[in-house]
Structure 1
Amino acid sequence: MKIHRIHIYLALVLLSFGFIVSYSVQFTKQTTSGTLPYSDDQWEKKQELQEKLIEEQAQIQELENQLQSIKHKVSEFEEKMGERQAEGKELLSELEEVRMWVGLVPVTGSGVMVILNDSKEVPDLGNVNDFIVHEENIRQVVNELFASGAEAISINGQRLTTISSIRCVGPTVLVNEVKVVPPFEISAIGNPDTLSTALSMPQGVLQNLKDFTNIEIKLEKKDKLNLPAYTGDTQKLVVKEDL
């Protein structure tokens, strides 16, 4: 087939048209994807954005560091508070124990009860003093109970403390300056077996009372005893080994 000049012109036109279309498509893609060459203003804005981003990232990192520091301080504070609370509980426990020992709070527990009573029969020729309970008899039992580990003691509802006294005024026995009459119920909280054994041992307190007096003596172990708090003047409470 013979190639005419018109064919050449047409081919050149089509080639040019194809190049234009191809360039237009490529230009459109660049415009859509933002890959057009930046102008000076656009470049400066991009630089500013990048600098702000870097600055904000640095601020975020600083805030994270501060947060970690605060968390660490909070953790240390909570640990110290826990230690102080434990110390506070320990101090309260010790305080309650001291209050119990000095008789300022009522207490409940197992223990023993010793009942001392005047004899119901007094011979005509006998010495009446051998048939009644004296303050010395009560004091001997109380001191033995304390020495054997009694935690708290009361006599006819009168709680004994470090300033308590047991004394006779004429025919009357005074405990904490309160008149008490027989039978004298001496209640002691502690290990029932230990307290009972200490009182009942040969040549012990109760044995001597039985040998040298005619008073009535009764010893009982108790699963539960309720001792009241001391109700007298507490201003003079001091440590005292015995009564």
Structure 2
Amino acid sequence: MKLRGRHVILSLVLLVSGFLVAISYEHTKQDSKVVQLNDQEWEKDYYYRQQLINLEEKNRELKQDLENKRKEIQNLEEELGGQTETIDNYVDRKLELQMITGELPVTGRGVRITLSDSDYVPSEENANQYIVHERHIHRVVNELLSAGAEAVSINGQRVFRDSFINCVGPVISVDGVTHPAPFTISAIGDQEVMYSSINLTDGLVDELISDNIEVEMEKMENIQMSARVDQERG
């Protein structure tokens, strides 16, 4: 009976030992697998971290490049802003010159001066001394231009600095177009300056009156003059 009891105890110890060894081995295998998985995860994490670092570095480079481009655009806008102002000035000047040379029609405030032959001509006097001559027209036109007139017309026909005005008997010829008296000379520009310039004491008006020319002056709020091309077509 004692021998059998020892065998049972020994068998039980061996069984328990074997069970513990088996459990320990299985646990060891499981721990080994966990460590191996952690290594893989670490490698993946390291790879993704490197990718993230590279992307962040690229993002910083792109941001810096974008900032540089913004500064370049700002500099270009400032440069173009200055050029735009210069171009606008050129355009305004071009339009002004085109109006002066007659390439464009012009409208504005100004003055109108009408020169008429004298109604009274003494029988003993020479009639030529009581009619409007080309010199009278020239005097008025030149005085208006000197006073800053932007555009001038005679009986609706626009005249220019190179226009030819001459007397043909009782009529005036302007660039080959004849006009009978009375002669209405219109000018666009500063009303006050032109009016005062023509109407000075002992000035042009007094000179015309002394030449037996009847003079009428008035300020106009809206004078329209066509372009040179339109006149030539007309």
Give the TM-score normalised by structure 1: 0.74
Question: Alpha-carbon deviation of 1:37?
Answer: 8.3
Q: 1:226 aligns with which of 220, 224, 227?
A: 224
8 Å CA contact 2:164–2:175 kept in 1: the answer is: yes
What SS does the aligned partner of 1:153 have? strand
- The letter for the 2-side match of 1:216 is E
Residue 145 of structure 2 is matched in structure 1 by: 146
Paired residues for 1:187-206 under 5 Å: 187-206=186-205
What SS does the aligned partner of 1:231 have? helix
Residues 169, 209 of structure 1: alpha-carbon distance in 2 compared, 3 angstrom cutoff: same
Question: Alpha-carbon deviation of 1:129?
Answer: 0.5
Give the distance between the partners of 1:233 and 1:223, measured in 2 at CA: 23
Residues 220, 79 of structure 1: alpha-carbon distance in 2 compared, 3 angstrom cutoff: same
8 Å CA contact 2:157–2:231 kept in 1: the answer is: no
Question: Alpha-carbon deviation of 1:160?
Answer: 1.7
Residue 175 of structure 1 is matched in structure 2 by: 174
8 Å CA contact 1:158–1:230 kept in 2: the answer is: no
Residue 157 of structure 1 is matched in structure 2 by: 156
Question: Alpha-carbon deviation of 1:232?
Answer: 8.0
Residues 175, 150 of structure 1: alpha-carbon distance in 2 compared, 3 angstrom cutoff: same
Paired residues for 1:117-132 under 5 Å: 117-132=116-131
8 Å CA contact 1:155–1:187 kept in 2: the answer is: yes
Give the distance between the partners of 1:232 and 1:109, measured in 2 at CA: 18
- The letter for the 2-side match of 1:208 is E
Residues 231, 41 of structure 1: alpha-carbon distance in 2 compared, 3 angstrom cutoff: closer
- The letter for the 1-side match of 2:200 is M
What SS does the aligned partner of 1:226 have? strand
- The letter for the 1-side match of 2:89 is E
Question: Alpha-carbon deviation of 1:170?
Answer: 4.0
RMSD in angstroms over aligned alpha carbons? 2.3
Paired residues for 1:1-243 under 5 Å: 39-211=38-210, 213-231=211-229
Runs of 4 or more above 3 Å deviation = 35-40, 169-172, 231-234
- The letter for the 1-side match of 2:215 is I
Deviations 1:137-193 (A, max 9, x none): 111111111122222211111112121121123443111221111110001122222
- The letter for the 2-side match of 1:62 is E
Q: Which is greater in Rg?
A: 2
8 Å CA contact 2:114–2:215 kept in 1: the answer is: yes
Question: Alpha-carbon deviation of 1:43?
Answer: 2.6
- The letter for the 1-side match of 2:65 is Q
Give the distance between the partners of 1:164 and 1:232, measured in 2 at CA: 16
Residue 16 of structure 2 is matched in structure 1 by: none
Give the distance between the partners of 2:35 and 2:75, measured in 1 at CA: 56
Residues 225, 50 of structure 1: alpha-carbon distance in 2 compared, 3 angstrom cutoff: same
Residue 24 of structure 1 is matched in structure 2 by: none
- The letter for the 2-side match of 1:215 is I
8 Å CA contact 1:131–1:215 kept in 2: the answer is: yes
Give the TM-score normalised by structure 2: 0.76
8 Å CA contact 2:208–2:214 kept in 1: the answer is: no
Give the distance between the partners of 2:44 and 2:215, measured in 1 at CA: 107
Give the distance between the partners of 1:76 and 1:56, measured in 2 at CA: 30
Q: Which runs of 5+ in 1 are unaligned?
A: 1-34, 235-243
Residues 231, 172 of structure 1: alpha-carbon distance in 2 compared, 3 angstrom cutoff: farther
Question: Alpha-carbon deviation of 1:64?
Answer: 1.2
Residue 12 of structure 1 is matched in structure 2 by: none
